Amino acid sequence: MDIDNINGLDKAAVLFQILGESLALSMFQGISEADTLRIRVRSRELRNIPLSLKESVLEEYYFKMMSTKYHNFDKNENKLFSFLIELNDEQVFYLINTEPPKVIALTLDQLDPARKMKIMNRFSSQLKHSIIMELGKLNEIPLEGVVSVAKELKNKISFLPSPKEFSRGGPKSIANILNQMTIDDAEQYLEQLSTDDPELYAEVRKHFLSFEDLLDMPEHIMKIYWRNPEIDVDELSKALKGLDQSIVDNISAYLSKRNQRKFAVYTEPLSKRDIDACQLSFVDLARKMNDAQEINLADILEATDLVE
């Protein structure tokens, strides 16, 4: 598990474990009883969480608290850093990584929480600690100092490489290409890659999602994914055509009661191309749910790697 790949529910559950339920509830004010119950249940499900991950979750939470507490710059002053919006995360990191902790903290505090933490996690643990400490003292910086920092950083932008120059390829880039291929072409490439470079193959598989991965997900993800209201049982019956009946029965058992009543095995002739198209639609749905933080693709791919 990685801090960048776990959703808000799991992070809250980890905090429940670290802080204890009583203290956590006093800090998570304003959440509903239903959400509290979900967090409590998920906290019990998450066992053997690595200490390093717990530390990252706690550090992220503390960082956000400090940012909220001490972010007292006027909205007009915040416009001084509007140029950061046009930069991608790696450009922002490149822009500030050699600056003093105070400047880094001031810059990061202008970004939305998601971007802030993504860039923050690229710094060493020691430097992150210094940045967090400086974040608590941002209100001590006079307006003239804020303006000066903004001007200096804006001048440095002209020396930044363009976004395209930051692309470094690698396993994730290969997986992104494979995800746009037909299923047969992607499988053929993966098979060849597993023979030519097993280590690279293992890394690519961490980012490549196939329809077969959706058939063997962890149970808690199965229950969320296959009960999604967007599941079309007619398309699903086509996507499952030709698979073992045991697989079909297992997947249909996770459908909502309504979809279970509607589901029927597809018996009409169907081309391989049509089957592939149906299967890819379910892969796209999984990626959409991952973007909405309803499921975690990293958990799916990690479970697949364990099975393999």
The 3-class secondary structure across 49-105, one letter per residue, is CCHHHHHHHHHHHHHHHHHHHHCCCCHHHHHHHHHHHHCCHHHHHHHHCCCCHHHHH
51-166 with 209-307: one CATH topology? yes
Judge whether residue 259 has pLDDT over 90: yes
Judge whether residue 232 has pLDDT over 90: yes
CATH dotted code for 209-307? 1.10.220.30
Q: Please write the tens of the pLDDT for every residue from 294-306.
A: 988 878 877 555 4
CA-to-CA distance for 145 and 64, rounded, in angstroms? 23
Q: CA nearest 5: which of 118, 90, 109?
A: 118
- Looking at residues 175-192, what average pLDDT do you find? 77
Judge whether residue 150 has pLDDT over 70: yes
Q: Please write the tens of the pLDDT for every residue from 15-69.
A: 777 777 766 666 666 677 787 788 888 887 877 777 777 777 777 777 766 655 5
Range with top average pLDDT, 121-125, 200-204, 281-285: 281-285
Q: Please write the tens of the pLDDT for every residue from 74-91.
A: 444 457 888 888 888 888
Judge whether residue 72 has pLDDT over 50: no
**pLDDT score, position 236:** 95
pTM: 0.44
CATH 1.10.220.30 fits 51-166, yes or no: yes
**pLDDT score, position 46:** 77
The model's confidence at residue 165, banded by pLDDT at 50, 70 and 90, is very low
Range with top average pLDDT, 105-109, 126-130, 193-197, 234-238: 234-238
CA-to-CA distance for 3 and 17, rounded, in angstroms? 16
Q: Give me the residue spans of the domains in the chain.
A: 1-49, 51-166, 209-307
